[in-house]
Structure 1
Amino acid sequence: MKNLIFCLAIFFLFASCNDDKKEEAEEPEVSNIQKEWWKEAVIYQIYPRSFKDTNGDGVGDLKGIIQKLDYIDSLGVNMVWLNPIYSSPNADNGYDISDYRAIMDEFGTMEEFDLMLSEMHKRDIKFVMDVVVNHSSDEHEWFQESRKSRDNPYRDYYHWWPAEKGEPNYRYSLFDPKGEAWKYDSITNAYYLHYFSKKQPDLNWENPKVRQEVYDIMKFWAEKGVDGFRLDAFQFVSKDTTFPPLPEGYEKDVIKYYGMGPNLHKYLKELNQEVLSKYDVFAVSEGAGSNFEDAHSLVDADRNELQMAYHFKGMDVGNSLEGYKLSEFKEVYTKWDSAFAKEGWLSIFLANHDVPRMVSKFGIDSPEFRAASSKMLNTFILTMRGTPYVYYGDELGMTNIGFDSISQYQDIVAKNGYEKTINEGGDIDQYMAELKFLSRDNGRTPMQWDNSDNAGFTTGTPWLPINENFEEINVQTQNNDPNSCLNYFREIVKLRMENPVLVYGDYQLILPDNKNVYAYTRELDDQKMLILLNFSTENTSIELPEKFSKPELLINNYSEVQRKNSKLTLKPYQALIFNY
């Protein structure tokens, strides 16, 4: 397996698994459903470095988000998740935190955070805070103290292995060029553990003082009014601290040996009791274990742990230059929906800060099909059961940037993977080809606001280059085009918000063997919808079953529907939604 594909596979396993307020639609009765506000949300994820820069330093900031809140509101979404904005030396773009109660200088001040949160709430937009507590930065005061001596009060805040016991048993690190998660530190002649970068030492959750520190941090932000928490890499906080040897073939089920540790559920119940139960907030953990049982154990209501599962099985689809088969895509999402039909709750997404652009991976980003496939993919996200997560720019159809040289990349995974490939004598051309398609930097390029210099993102030099297609793909251009991806996105969000069937309704796959069309129904009481999605560049004809003989068209990403009696012909990447 190539280094990049292996790294991504391991990563997903680690991760797995206007001013007016929005109109309140009159909702049909929903029977026998446990309704929750976080189930009915549409979450808009913002990578803050890349959204909007207001001071010309090339990095997005909180003032930029505040400046664009009316735009976010215009999308119809009602929740925003920001990637980390805490103080950080930025070894991993903010996922290495040096102060959990301070805002990174590049992003702004705590006063600006408070204003941003207040302005979101004025628009009935809730806010999700990213919590990174599997590890801290090595520049955090806790670690600086921990490494001073073996009897320091902070020593047990991290995992240390005395060198006199010999080298610790191997553990894999995602971000280390050699893949080694134990780092020798000469100050105390010991090794510390880092599942990610050597600048991200893992916190020792077996120490109750560490857990209380985390709960106090979350209370600090909950008291400020945040509405939810996304728990980064949380399924790895509990570890077998004897660190036994890994069995042969462990790579096939990394979570079994690295995650879902012996005390994870104890800690989650404690977190729920200490924090979540005391505030009107929800929590979602990055990853959902290695199977359905793991996922349910994290989020079923009677568990009193978390509220929402964020599994990565869908992101495992298509992680190769050969692309993917729709049959595999259907199977993943149908199985997960079925497993959570009665208990628990899922997240639905096709992109985030750790994967390439949605339209480049699952659609076609060429000019001919980009808009249609982008609209079709957003239709999928917004018509499935679960809480949709939409990544900034995907409402426009933003695409991969496709770097050619390793010098263009900023991502630590890309750089370390390149070094690892060279050290191991791997095929560097193959690595670069895979990186061009799958790199995380593809999903982190600056937001394309207009066709001015730097796409209106900054007056300075952007921290990552602007995609060259910004003159065609930008907010200003699409805002004025009634047929644009942006305005289609607004239409589909509005449909979801006004129809509980798209939130709570039963899902049923139809035409399961069709190689081009993903077709399914959503049913809730008297509400019934049919969704037809052509995942191909071909015109595809289908025969509709008798019960769909007189459907009422609600959504169409083309200007017409080709239909004759019960036969329907879908154009390339056509998306149709009907009442029936």
Structure 2
Amino acid sequence: MNEEWWKNAVIYQVYPKSFLDTNNDGIGDLKGIDTKLNYLKELGVDALWISPIYLSPQIDNGYDIADYRKIDPMFGNNKDLEQLIKDAHRKNIRIIMDMVANHTSDKSVWFEESCKSKNNYFSDFYIWKDPKSDGSKPNNWGSNFGGSAWTYDDNRKQYYLHYYGKQQPDLNWENPKVRQVIYDVMRYWKAHGVDGWRMDVITSISKNQEFPNNPNPHQLKYVVGNQNNGPRMHEFIHEMNQEVFKPFSMMSVGEAPDSKSKDARLLVEPDREELNMIFTFEHMHVDRKPGDVNGRWAIQPVDVVQLKRTLANWQNTLDGHGWNALYFENHDRARTPSRWGNDKNYRYESATAFATILHGLKGTPFVYQGEEIGMTNPEFELKDYEDIELRTNYDKLVRKEKTISEADFLKAARKISRDNARTPMQWDSSENAGFTKGDPWFKLNPNYKNLNVSRDLNSDKSVFKYYQKLIELRHKENILKDGKFKLLLPDDKSIFIYTRTLGADEWVVVANLSDKLQQVDVLSKYSDYKTIISNYESEKLKILRPYEARILKK
């Protein structure tokens, strides 16, 4: 088996709750994924990354795990997962599970025991601190979901740390027993056939043991910061590599929120034996006002120049030093045609233009469910959103701190809320989009009657078929895996154009990321190049129409 199979692969992320429901309880399940393996095989993907399916109270959609070895009954059972793995492997599709190693649910037996006393086996599985002399919290650390990162426990008379919801206490990675129980869980699933891991917020596992206050320029009560790239992070991840990834040849991709390209080299340089790839967040901040007190909710139009610079920087910095994970959409990111494109007049063109740019880069592309048909944001009202991050931030920023108006918060939510990606998958135009015959757990995007898999596959402008071609190129053409990258026109505000070269071969990847006609004089230099793929039927040499994309070959 090719140990670096992921370098030639395209990986598809399934958000099981919203993928396909087979028992009509309104929640997607493992049998639903199994049912659609032929669809995924037809698309051409090589592996499925499945968001958490472990037993969970679902405070944060499964990223709060109560039992790492048990599948949550809402998704089926352990046997259903074993069957899915077997069926996927028969089709040469690998299975990647999501591992949340930074925190558990407060309903985990580990935490329940830890709360009981300061001297039992689980006492130091979490991060407990005494109150300050005045009874206040240990420091000013803020939770990513709003409020303090510390919650008081009456029984222990101490505070415990949680970077996310108070129902998601952070594990104490300084305790070797904690590290071993996590590695044991990963070995357990390897024994059941799992091929790799997506590591949730893995760069948060090491905490600064001094627990200093975070810098507080805005004079806030609680400050989010100092939560990644802690002092022992590399040591812990290397240990995980030696204990799990390396001996069992398991692929790893880590979520690394604060990592810049130079940090990435330390995480993915092969000789360091840590991770195979990491997800950067840097390129996903190009529609955020920098330094604003409202953080990600302070939105601005997409800065194409910044997007190009960031992606190019990662391509160049990791060249020869590691491997890129390429994505625009996932369960935490909104739909690209709505967020950065024009989903009203140029939905197909927007979806395929951004896909062309991404799949032409060096690295492993990740496709999120529904992305392959160009699904869009649903434009809900605030009452319709479910996400804990949105609700806690609304409470903090709109109600308490009054730093953003309700209207502006809603506008931002419709652009960037995580819930935009979590509406049920749109299979056909029947009731509930063919997702369920029951009452769906989350509201569907009302446009499902016109935008669904069945309709897209029969359309002259099929996003699915375009993705199929991009994935086929990835499998067949070594230049996409090994070719050198060079960015052209770095300061152009609409045109994203770069070359990939391997030996005497040269490809040009170009897209107009605007809804205006753009003249691109540099294209005349490539007038004798052949078009490999394009999202418009006819081409005009130097003119790119709205969201027009092409790949040209020497």
Q: Per the shorter chain, which TM-score range?
A: over 0.9
The equivalent residue for 2:189 is 221
Amino acid at match of 2:394: Y
Are 2:342 and 1:372 aligned? no
Say whether the 8 Å CA contact 1:79–1:128 is kept in structure 2. yes
Mapping 1:38-437, distance limit 5 Å:
38-163=6-131, 166-167=135-136, 168-176=138-146, 179-249=147-217, 257-287=226-256, 289-319=258-288, 320-366=298-344, 368-404=345-381, 406-420=382-396, 421-426=398-403, 427-437=405-415
- In the alignment, the residues of structure 1 paired with residue 537 and residue 9 of structure 2 have an alpha-carbon distance, to the nearest angstrom, of 29
Amino acid at match of 1:213: V
**SS in structure 2 at match of 1:39:** helix
Amino acid at match of 2:544: L
Say whether the 8 Å CA contact 1:288–1:294 is kept in structure 2. no
Residues 35, 512 of structure 1: alpha-carbon distance in 2 compared, 3 angstrom cutoff: farther
1:553 CA displacement: 1.1
- In the alignment, the residues of structure 1 paired with residue 217 and residue 93 of structure 2 have an alpha-carbon distance, to the nearest angstrom, of 46
Say whether the 8 Å CA contact 1:250–1:257 is kept in structure 2. no
Say whether the 8 Å CA contact 2:131–2:159 is kept in structure 1. yes
- In the alignment, the residues of structure 2 paired with residue 121 and residue 100 of structure 1 have an alpha-carbon distance, to the nearest angstrom, of 23
The equivalent residue for 1:17 is none
The equivalent residue for 1:445 is 423
Residues 551, 164 of structure 1: alpha-carbon distance in 2 compared, 3 angstrom cutoff: closer
**SS in structure 1 at match of 2:148:** coil
Q: Deviations over 1:376-404 (max 9, x none)?
A: 11111211111101111011110000111
**SS in structure 1 at match of 2:349:** helix
Say whether the 8 Å CA contact 1:256–1:290 is kept in structure 2. no
- In the alignment, the residues of structure 1 paired with residue 15 and residue 224 of structure 2 have an alpha-carbon distance, to the nearest angstrom, of 27
**SS in structure 1 at match of 2:274:** coil
1:255 CA displacement: 9.3
Q: Deviations over 1:386-425 (max 9, x none)?
A: 1101111011110000111x32111001111222221223
Gap regions ≥5 residues in structure 1: 1-33
Say whether the 8 Å CA contact 2:254–2:279 is kept in structure 1. yes
The equivalent residue for 1:467 is 445
Residues 118, 46 of structure 1: alpha-carbon distance in 2 compared, 3 angstrom cutoff: same
Q: Deviations over 1:38-62 (max 9, x none)?
A: 1111011111100000111111000
Say whether the 8 Å CA contact 1:98–1:141 is kept in structure 2. yes
- In the alignment, the residues of structure 1 paired with residue 260 and residue 531 of structure 2 have an alpha-carbon distance, to the nearest angstrom, of 38
Say whether the 8 Å CA contact 2:142–2:224 is kept in structure 1. no
- In the alignment, the residues of structure 2 paired with residue 155 and residue 175 of structure 1 have an alpha-carbon distance, to the nearest angstrom, of 25
Say whether the 8 Å CA contact 2:261–2:313 is kept in structure 1. no
Q: Deviations over 1:219-275 (max 9, x none)?
A: 1111212111111011111112231222344999x9972211111111111111111
Decide which moves more: 241-250 or 374-383: 241-250
**SS in structure 2 at match of 1:278:** coil
- In the alignment, the residues of structure 1 paired with residue 243 and residue 169 of structure 2 have an alpha-carbon distance, to the nearest angstrom, of 25
1:337 CA displacement: 0.8
Amino acid at match of 1:230: R
Amino acid at match of 1:418: Y
Q: Deviations over 1:352-374 (max 9, x none)?
A: 111211111121110x2011111
Say whether the 8 Å CA contact 2:331–2:421 is kept in structure 1. yes
Amino acid at match of 1:461: D
Residues 35, 203 of structure 1: alpha-carbon distance in 2 compared, 3 angstrom cutoff: closer
Residues 87, 384 of structure 1: alpha-carbon distance in 2 compared, 3 angstrom cutoff: same
1:524 CA displacement: 1.3
The equivalent residue for 2:464 is 486
**SS in structure 2 at match of 1:562:** coil
**SS in structure 1 at match of 2:246:** helix
Decide which moves more: 524-533 or 303-312: 524-533
- In the alignment, the residues of structure 2 paired with residue 65 and residue 548 of structure 1 have an alpha-carbon distance, to the nearest angstrom, of 43
Gap regions ≥5 residues in structure 2: 289-297
- In the alignment, the residues of structure 2 paired with residue 409 and residue 544 of structure 1 have an alpha-carbon distance, to the nearest angstrom, of 45
Query: What TM-score, normalized by structure 1, do the two folds share?
Result: 0.90
Say whether the 8 Å CA contact 2:260–2:280 is kept in structure 1. no
1:291 CA displacement: 2.9
- In the alignment, the residues of structure 1 paired with residue 3 and residue 517 of structure 2 have an alpha-carbon distance, to the nearest angstrom, of 39
- In the alignment, the residues of structure 2 paired with residue 147 and residue 378 of structure 1 have an alpha-carbon distance, to the nearest angstrom, of 48
- In the alignment, the residues of structure 2 paired with residue 272 and residue 327 of structure 1 have an alpha-carbon distance, to the nearest angstrom, of 36
Say whether the 8 Å CA contact 2:30–2:81 is kept in structure 1. yes
Say whether the 8 Å CA contact 2:258–2:281 is kept in structure 1. no
- In the alignment, the residues of structure 2 paired with residue 359 and residue 315 of structure 1 have an alpha-carbon distance, to the nearest angstrom, of 14
1:120 CA displacement: 0.9
Amino acid at match of 2:238: K
Amino acid at match of 1:58: G
- In the alignment, the residues of structure 1 paired with residue 504 and residue 125 of structure 2 have an alpha-carbon distance, to the nearest angstrom, of 55
1:461 CA displacement: 1.2
- In the alignment, the residues of structure 2 paired with residue 387 and residue 64 of structure 1 have an alpha-carbon distance, to the nearest angstrom, of 26
Amino acid at match of 1:126: R
- In the alignment, the residues of structure 2 paired with residue 489 and residue 208 of structure 1 have an alpha-carbon distance, to the nearest angstrom, of 44
1:35 CA displacement: 8.9
Amino acid at match of 2:145: F
Say whether the 8 Å CA contact 1:288–1:309 is kept in structure 2. no
Residues 336, 255 of structure 1: alpha-carbon distance in 2 compared, 3 angstrom cutoff: farther
The equivalent residue for 2:293 is none
Say whether the 8 Å CA contact 1:230–1:286 is kept in structure 2. yes
Q: Deviations over 1:448-470 (max 9, x none)?
A: 00000000000011111111111
Q: Deviations over 1:80-129 (max 9, x none)?
A: 10110000000000000000000011000111100111111111111111
**SS in structure 1 at match of 2:496:** strand
The equivalent residue for 1:4 is none
Q: Percent identity?
A: 41
1:158 CA displacement: 0.3
- In the alignment, the residues of structure 2 paired with residue 532 and residue 508 of structure 1 have an alpha-carbon distance, to the nearest angstrom, of 12
- In the alignment, the residues of structure 1 paired with residue 218 and residue 312 of structure 2 have an alpha-carbon distance, to the nearest angstrom, of 27
1:289 CA displacement: 4.3
**SS in structure 1 at match of 2:143:** coil
- In the alignment, the residues of structure 2 paired with residue 249 and residue 231 of structure 1 have an alpha-carbon distance, to the nearest angstrom, of 32
Say whether the 8 Å CA contact 2:201–2:257 is kept in structure 1. no
The alignment's C-alpha RMSD in Å is: 1.9
Number of corresponding residues: 538
